[in-house]
Amino acid sequence: MRFDLDLPKWKWPFYVARHPFEGFEDVRWKKAYHSKVALLIILVFFIVNVCARLMTGFIYQTVFDKIFNVVPIFSSSILIFFIWVVGNWSLCTLFDGEGKMNEIMCVSAYALVPYIISQIIYILASNVLTRQEGTILVLINYIGLVWSGVLLISAMKAVHQYTMPKTILAMIFSVVAMVIIVLVLILLVSLFQQVVMFVYSIITELMYRFSL
């Protein structure tokens, strides 16, 4: 742990990316939870996802949709990120986790940085590489994913002050919690739909009754 760290806000995500094992302890020590930086990262994450859909070279396009739709990309980047934060927080507060919601959000966002960078490289490279050189792109993709994954584990470990096995377990159960949250959300939405339909039909009925 380095006590003499004095970085500007925007440098923290890059610092933790370069120090995957100690970086998040430093973040904790320095209380470097900058939520504005984190939100910016999430926004960039979303934009990069949109770009990946629109700007990947023709040879490497895997999506076969004729019409571009931003909603699935939104829900698979921003929405799922916040569901992860909520799910992880709600699980870890019950199991001696020290992280607060804001802290979890910040470190999770910091951990995304290598993946975002790899995606940017992927998009650029896919426009200049042919199909035979595709292994390079696969490599870029995997490096980004693994790096971000390692960072996320390290982040969870530091922010909750867990041991390694407990961190892994907590992350797995966070995913389960995410599934439950999504299910409850869908249930809620459909229930509200029913309520709205019910009220709406009562209003129409009344309007017919009193011939309004």
* Sites of contact with other proteins (CB under 8 A): 58-59, 64, 66, 128, 130-132
Cα 170 to the center of its chain, rounded Å? 17
Q: How far is the CB of 57 from other proteins (least distance, A)?
A: 8
Distance of alpha carbon 193 from alpha carbon 189, whole angstroms: 6
Q: Which is nearer to other proteins, 129 or 150 (CB)?
A: 129
Q: Which is nearer to other proteins, 6 or 94 (CB)?
A: 6
Q: How far is the CB of 190 from other proteins (least distance, A)?
A: 23
Ramachandran angles phi, psi of 103, nearest 5°: -65, -45
Q: How far is the CB of 137 from other proteins (least distance, A)?
A: 13
- The answer to whether 114 touches 84, Cβ cutoff 8 Å, is no
Structure tokens at 99: 């992280």
Q: Which is nearer to other proteins, 59 or 169 (CB)?
A: 59
Alpha carbon dihedral 8, 14, 17, 19, in 10-degree steps, equals -50
- The answer to whether 71 touches 50, Cβ cutoff 8 Å, is no
Structure tokens at 207: 């309007």
Q: How far is the CB of 4 from other proteins (least distance, A)?
A: 11
Distance of alpha carbon 63 from alpha carbon 15, whole angstroms: 34
Distance of alpha carbon 42 from alpha carbon 203, whole angstroms: 43
Q: Which is nearer to other proteins, 2 or 36 (CB)?
A: 2
Helix orientation angle between 80-92 and 101-111, rounded to the nearest 10 degrees: 130
Q: Which is nearer to other proteins, 69 or 132 (CB)?
A: 132
Q: How far is the CB of 138 from other proteins (least distance, A)?
A: 16
Structure tokens at 70: 């931003």
Q: Which is nearer to other proteins, 3 or 58 (CB)?
A: 58
Q: How far is the CB of 64 from other proteins (least distance, A)?
A: 7
